[in-house]
Every structure is written in structure tokens, then in C-alpha cells.
Amino acid sequence: MNYALFAIACYIVMRGLQVVLEEHLQKKWCKTLIKVWTVFMLYAALASLLVYYLGKVRFLGFTPGD
């Protein structure tokens, strides 16, 4: 799997969570869920950039390009 596609998929899921849980956005558990997913998405994006510049390094548990 490509790291860039994984990061894009994480972003799409994050935006989908915000839309699906729109009526619960003021609740603490929802804010926490969105923040946790945002941190994970940012990690995936950073890993994607590092793999782009450094080569085949495993950051997300799978080899880039598989």
C-alpha cells in the first residue's frame, strides 16, 4: 500500500467522522475521538512525507509500495 494513499484515506475518514457525528460535536467523547483521529492522520501524513524523501522506511507497520 502506498503511504500517500493511506494518509489521504485517513483524512477522508476524519472528515467523514466530522460529518456523521455533527450532532455530537459538542460532547467530550466526540471531541476526543476527532482529536485522536487527527493526530493519527497527521502521523500518517508525516510518515508519507518522510518515506517520499528518505525511501523505504516502515513507519506505519507496512513496507511502502506494497
pLDDT of residue 56: 74
> What is the sign of the dihedral through the CA atoms of 27, 30, 36 and 41?
negative
What is the pTM (predicted TM-score) of this model?
A: 0.78
**Buried/exposed 41-65: b ≥16 CB within 10 Å, e otherwise:** beebbebbeebeeeeeeeebeeebe
Residue 1, pLDDT above cutoff 70: no
The domain locations on the chain are: 3-54
Q: How far apart are CA 7 and CA 40, in angstroms?
A: 9
Query: Averaged over 51-60, what is the pLDDT?
Result: 78
Residue 32, pLDDT above cutoff 70: yes
